[in-house]
Amino acid sequence: MKDKNSRWALSPEQCAAVFRIRTKRAEKVYRHNMTIWDGRGAILLNGQGTEPLRSMKYGKYSMEWNGCEIIACANVLTMLGLGEPLPQIVREFMLNGMPFVFPGGYWGTAPRQLWRFLDSRGVEYRRCDRADELEKGAAAAECGIVSFWNNRLSEARLRGLDFFSGGLHTVAFRRTLRGYEVFDLYSNDTAPRPIGSPAEIYRDKRFIVGYLFNK
């Protein structure tokens, strides 16, 4: 776990003046998202291509396109009993410069930077940089987050090196009495999908990083 004292802005007032453009954009998106959210509290979120997620924004784009990391983080907080409204989480990701590679959020959020948000909430977690770490540790965890590249290795061009052109995806999962269930695995999901193990989530795809949590 990273240092919990790592700087994280919770509001525009906590952002340096140099980030004025970022702050202005974040507040515009926040107002839009609050209107769409329409008073909902902390809820578990499924397909990002369903409402209200597809009408909400992250950066310049619909969350249907780039919201999976934020959705996964929001789901884990709710699973841990620490849930909060999604628009505030989106706002903070934007205020703190979390979009991956492109400032406008085209590729979503950098999965390896999610610790910054988790630390801001004081959440205890185990970061897994290898798939086998995640698979072994999941049996003793309450829930988790896993990120992976979308292209199947067996179908990737350039002898399997083209694993990144299809973008990446991040989901939250939790342990159940019968195995596990995963949220937002596909954009049109309206309920969590039951799975036998976390490995089923990214089978034949390149694993990026995972996080495991306990209450």
- Whole-number pLDDT of residue 5: 43
- CA 50 to CA 36: how far, in whole Å? 13
Domain endpoint, select from 89, 120, 151: 120
- Whole-number pLDDT of residue 101: 61
- Whole-number pLDDT of residue 115: 96
Q: Tell whether 112 and 134 lie within a shared domain.
A: no
Beta bridge partners of 180: 175, 195
Q: Tell whether 52 and 143 lie within a shared domain.
A: no
pLDDT, mean over the chain:
89
Q: Tell whether 144 and 102 lie within a shared domain.
A: no
- Whole-number pLDDT of residue 215: 81
- Whole-number pLDDT of residue 18: 56
Q: Is residue 2 part of a domain?
A: no
Asked if 22 and 97 count as a contact pair (C-beta separation under 8 A), the reply is yes
pTM of the model: 0.90
- Whole-number pLDDT of residue 162: 55
Q: Two tokens at 93?
A: 């990701």
Residues of the chain with pLDDT under 70: 1-6, 16-18, 100-103, 153-165
Q: Is residue 50 part of a domain?
A: yes
- Whole-number pLDDT of residue 9: 85
Q: Taking Cα atoms as reference points, which of 180, 173, 167 lies closest to residue 46?
A: 173
Domain endpoint, select from 93, 120, 147: 120
- Whole-number pLDDT of residue 4: 46
How many structural domains does the chain have?
2
Q: Tell whether 183 and 146 lie within a shared domain.
A: yes
- DSSP, collapsed to helix, strand or coil, labels residue 51 as coil
What is the domain range of residue 203?
Answer: 125-213
